């Protein structure tokens, strides 16, 4: 068995073009010779095909994807049979939200709201079906030329109805630090409020061109998530409607209980900001850190430091492995790309 390339036949699929390639997998445009449909086929690199943990992750993504049917979620397809590991999805033409932000820096508020409403509606559907995405970020949001959104990449999604699977012992924490919720940084599995946090962060970035928190490296960002409140977006956009700011700040509150309890709840406010009640948050930025190391016993501080270093190293190794991605000149974004800056 060898690496597949464009021009190969993979069971019922003829691979016609390489759409994207990362450190872990390649995505090909393909023709289904049984139905005639044009699809996308994601094939892991050969070195991962014998990796049990990677196989579990791939299998989980396929099982979750094939359960879903929502207009804002990429549709997974079921081959009649498979001779090796791969996933088949609908071919959605467009560009990633990361590319869109990179090209335009800031999006007008109406456009940003139209995108995030579709994202949050997809999350609502996922949460109502017991699925938590856990890796929501601009790289995993596809935007078509007419503004239609498709949510992609369920590699570390969690199906609350299924047996828990782990991946390299870090499946509950792996994500992109810029968009990870503080509880993910602390090693928790996450729930609907984790996805809400990521969605709020993306809306903040779309309208301001910046992230709510900034740091020089992965470890500093993870610590900032635990100890700092985000900069209010009106400091970057003085004319921002306070009700829109309230939606964002409630979504990205570092304390989970202060966030929207579900994507459905957030969606109500996004669709009708006029009924949002603006809170007085003037005292919040001076509040005690969510995770105050100085107040913990010395032994606990050491344990926490070790856990934080371990998670940070895991993130760096994982990101480095993905950071050597090479992209073909096509609009389809590879869902397992490295974090920001590629």
Specify the higher pLDDT residue, 29 or 288: 29
Judged against a pLDDT cut of 70, whether residue 45 lies above it is answered with: yes
- Please identify which of the residues 11, 32, 121, 135 carries the catalytic annotation: 135
Q: What is the pLDDT of residue 79?
A: 93
Residues 100, 108: Cα–Cα separation, whole Å: 12
Given the DSSP bridges, would you call strands 38-44 and 76-77 parallel, antiparallel or unpaired? unpaired
Mean pLDDT of 75-82: 93
Mean pLDDT of 154-169: 56
- The 3 state secondary structure assigned to 83-99 is CCCCEEEECCCCEEHHH
Identify the helix (H) or strand (E) that includes residue 76: strand 76-77
N residues, the chain: 342
Judged against a pLDDT cut of 60, whether residue 143 lies above it is answered with: yes
Active site residue 135: yes
Judged against a pLDDT cut of 80, whether residue 139 lies above it is answered with: yes
Mean pLDDT of 223-247: 94
Region of residue 134 (phi > 0: left; psi between -120 and 50: alpha; otherwise: beta): left
Given the DSSP bridges, would you call strands 95-96 and 131-132 parallel, antiparallel or unpaired? unpaired
Mean pLDDT of 310-316: 48
Mean pLDDT of 268-273: 98
Q: Residue 318: which pLDDT band, with cuts at 50, 70 and 90?
A: very low
Say whether pTM exceeds 0.85: no
Judged against a pLDDT cut of 80, whether residue 58 lies above it is answered with: yes
Mean pLDDT of 97-101: 95
Specify the higher pLDDT residue, 228 or 102: 102
Judged against a pLDDT cut of 50, whether residue 302 lies above it is answered with: no
Phi, psi at 38, each rounded to 5°: -95, 130
Task: Please count the helices (runs of H) and the strands (runs of E) in the chain.
Answer: 10, 11
Q: What is the pLDDT of residue 278?
A: 94
Mean pLDDT of 156-173: 50
Judged against a pLDDT cut of 80, whether residue 307 lies above it is answered with: no
Judged against a pLDDT cut of 50, whether residue 4 lies above it is answered with: yes
Q: What is the pLDDT of residue 126?
A: 95
Please report how many Cα atoms fall inside a 13 Å half-sphere around the Cα of residue 324, on the Cβ side. Answer: 7
Question: In the predicted model, what is the mean pLDDT of the chain?
Answer: 81
Judged against a pLDDT cut of 60, whether residue 113 lies above it is answered with: yes
Mean pLDDT of 16-25: 86
Nearest partner of 2 among 83, 92, 110, judged by Cα: 83
Q: What is the pLDDT of residue 314?
A: 52
Q: What is the pLDDT of residue 161?
A: 58
Q: What is the pLDDT of residue 310?
A: 52
Q: Residue 20: which pLDDT band, with cuts at 50, 70 and 90?
A: confident
Q: What is the pLDDT of residue 316?
A: 46
Mean pLDDT of 26-39: 95
Judged against a pLDDT cut of 50, whether residue 303 lies above it is answered with: no
Specify the higher pLDDT residue, 247 or 24: 247
Q: Which residues of 310-335 are buried (b: 16+ CB within 10 A; e: fewer)?
A: ebbeebeebbeebeebebbeebbbbb
Q: What is the pLDDT of residue 27?
A: 92
- In order of their start, the domains of the chain are 9-90 (3.30.200.20), 95-322 (1.10.510.10)
Mean pLDDT of 146-165: 75
Q: What is the pLDDT of residue 225?
A: 87
């Amino acid at each position: 068995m060898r690496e597949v390339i464009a021009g190969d036949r993979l069971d019922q699929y003829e691979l016609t073009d390489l759409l994207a390639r990362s450190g872990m997998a390649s995505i090909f445009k393909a023709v289904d010779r049984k139905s005639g449909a044009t699809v996308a086929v994601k094939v892991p690199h050969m070195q991962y095909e014998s990796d049990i943990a990677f196989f579990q992750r791939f299998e989980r993504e396929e099982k979750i994807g094939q359960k879903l049917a929502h207009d804002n979620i990429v549709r997974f397809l079921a081959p009649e049979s498979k001779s090796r590991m791969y996933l088949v999805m609908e071919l959605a033409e467009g560009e990633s939200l990361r590319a869109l932000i990179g090209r335009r820096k800031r999006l007008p508020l109406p456009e940003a709201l139209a995108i995030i409403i579709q994202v949050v509606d997809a999350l609502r559907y996922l949460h109502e079906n017991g699925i938590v995405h856990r890796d929501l970020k601009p790289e995993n949001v596809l935007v078509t030329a007419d503004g239609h959104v498709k949510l992609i990449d369920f590699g570390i999604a969690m199906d609350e109805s299924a047996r828990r699977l782990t991946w390299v012992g870090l499946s509950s924490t792996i994500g992109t630090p810029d968009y990870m919720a503080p509880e993910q940084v602390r090693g928790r599995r996450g729930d609907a409020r984790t996805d809400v946090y990521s969605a709020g962060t993306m809306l903040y970035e779309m309208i301001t061109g910046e992230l709510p928190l900034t740091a020089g490296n992965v470890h500093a960002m993870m610590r900032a998530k635990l100890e700092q409140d985000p900069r209010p977006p009106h400091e970057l956009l003085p004319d921002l409607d306070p009700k829109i700011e309230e939606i964002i700040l409630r979504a990205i509150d570092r304390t989970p209980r202060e966030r929207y309890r579900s994507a459905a709840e957030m969606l109500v406010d996004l669709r009708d900001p006029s009924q949002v009640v603006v809170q007085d948050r003037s005292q919040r930025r001076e509040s005690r850190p969510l995770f105050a190391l100085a107040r913990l016993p010395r032994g606990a501080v050491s344990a926490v430091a070790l856990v934080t270093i371990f998670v940070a190293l895991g993130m760096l190794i994982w990101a480095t492995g993905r950071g050597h991605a090479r992209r073909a000149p096509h609009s389809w974004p590879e869902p397992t790309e490295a974090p920001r800056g590629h």
